[in-house]
Amino acid sequence: MLERTIIQSRGCKNVTLPNGKPGFQFQIRNPNYRGVQASLVDGIDIKLDGLSYEFDSALWTLQGETYRLEQLRQSVDVRWQLDELATITLPVEQPIQCGVHDLFVCVFIRRPYIPAQFSRSPFKTSKKVVVVDKDDSASNIKLGVSTYSYSGDINTLMTLEDVMADMADIGASGLEMLSEGDIPGYPNISSTWLDNWFRLLDQYTLQPTNLGTWVDTNMWLDRDLTVAEGVAQIQKDLQIASQLGFSSIRPKFGVTSLDLLPHPIWREAVERSLELANKLNIVICPEIHSPTPIKHIVTQGYIDFIEETKTDHFKLIVDTGIFQTAPCDDGHEGIELKPGQKRPPFLEPLKVPMADLAEILPHVHFIQSKFFEVDDQLNDLHVPWSDIVQTLEANNWSGWLSSEYEGRRESYRGRDQIRRQHALLRSLLNQNNH
């Protein structure tokens, strides 16, 4: 689906022009209320980070063909359809730096049914756009994205394909998904949806990583889930994960305390599912999530289980919210605060030290890159990414950093923040490996 804004989030990148010089590329939708003959397109004024470019400076790509403005004016059989994005390629002196940039455009379209002195209609708009560097690091750390980051937008303003296209556009290669959020008809999967799932994975060159699942131990008011029912839920999700190509699941068990002690059935339910996990080669991963720190009975209980069973199919997911160093008061949907309470307990900064992370890394299979806001200068206001990346690389950790945006849910904010976080992470990885 096209974004309502004229300038689109997707497609902002550096390119090399045929003459070997640098170019900056972005996409715009047709701002008119109807499609037009391309000869009616009359240029685009551009201002990028305060530097202005004349209306005829850029190249236009429509329907796979690239034109100078004069060629568009003389065209006969070229159209700019209302549902078609135009790719604008602007010659620049130097490649645009990875990060957030101010982009203003004024698109001119001639409308012959308006008197001549007014027919050259200007459509003005501006947007902060994010350029993400390509991956040229030698790091063992791979970048992915969780569909959770697009909550509120997905299924309303965006489709699953839009989310996958966004991921591919920033060079992410791993897709983390929510079983009960993104699979229509869960737990029953139609063959039509399944065929389209694999088509999209191929089209956008994405690898399924972790499937978020739930074991709702308090599903009913009058009784808890039994161990047998917990086993059935985990094994059902293992089968679905295998069917869709995921390599791990995160079963979120119901909790019995404010510091997230998992319901007592977790241990036996997992143990009885290890044989199937081994057969399907899928790792079962509980999540270390704020307000539970690393030095805690919950985390130690999971590590004890790993050491006692000597399994390779039960490891940890670390949610980077536990490293939060500053409070986030954006609130949290579905949580009612008590009078005088500024934020939910799990948004209080735990400030877990990097030494604690380093200690458990041999047991960590996957990292959910939780964050709330990255500003225009690529500063994360709450999570110390430089320290995290340095710790992972110093300990030769190999695996996925999967972006999980959990800030404010204004329309399209998630997709913009994901681009910012990937620009930040890519810069850190490229910097540390050069």
The residues annotated with a catalytic role in the active site are 289
Residues contacting residue 178 through CB under 8 Å, at least 6 positions apart: 146, 147, 148, 211, 212
Q: Shortest CA distance to 10 belongs to which of 18, 2, 21, 20?
A: 2
Contacts of 74 (CB under 8 A, 6+ apart): 39
* Residue from 235, 230, 218, 225 nearest 284 by CA: 235
**What span, in angstroms and rounded, lies between the C-alpha atoms of 186 and 197?**
14
Q: Are 262 and 343 in contact (CB under 8 A)?
A: no
Alpha helices in 24-105 (DSSP H): 69-74
Cβ-based neighbour number of residue 199 at 10 Å: 11
Tokens representing 218? 């308090």
Q: Is 281 exposed, middle or buried (0-12, 13-18, 19+ CB in 10 A)?
A: exposed
Query: What is the CA angle 321-391-260, rounded to 5?
Result: 30
In 3D space, the residue among 290, 196, 225, 212 whose CA is nearest the CA of residue 251 turns out to be 212
Distance, in Å, from the CA atom of 294 to the CA atom of 292, rounded to the nearest integer, reads: 7
Residue 238 half-sphere exposure toward CB, CA atoms < 13 A: 24
State whether residue 238 is helix, strand or coil.
helix
3-state helix, strand, coil in the chain (%, to 5): 30, 30, 40
Sheet holding 141-146, edge to edge: 283-284, 248-253, 207-215, 174-178, 141-146, 399-405, 364-371, 316-319, 287-288
Provide DSSP, 364-413: EEEEEEEES-B-TTS-BSS--HHHHHHHHHHTT--EEEEEEE-S---TTH
- Render the burial of 109-120: b for 16+ CB within 10 Å, e for the rest: bbeeeeeeeeee
Among 348, 295, 356, 293, which residue's Cα sits nearest to residue 326? 348
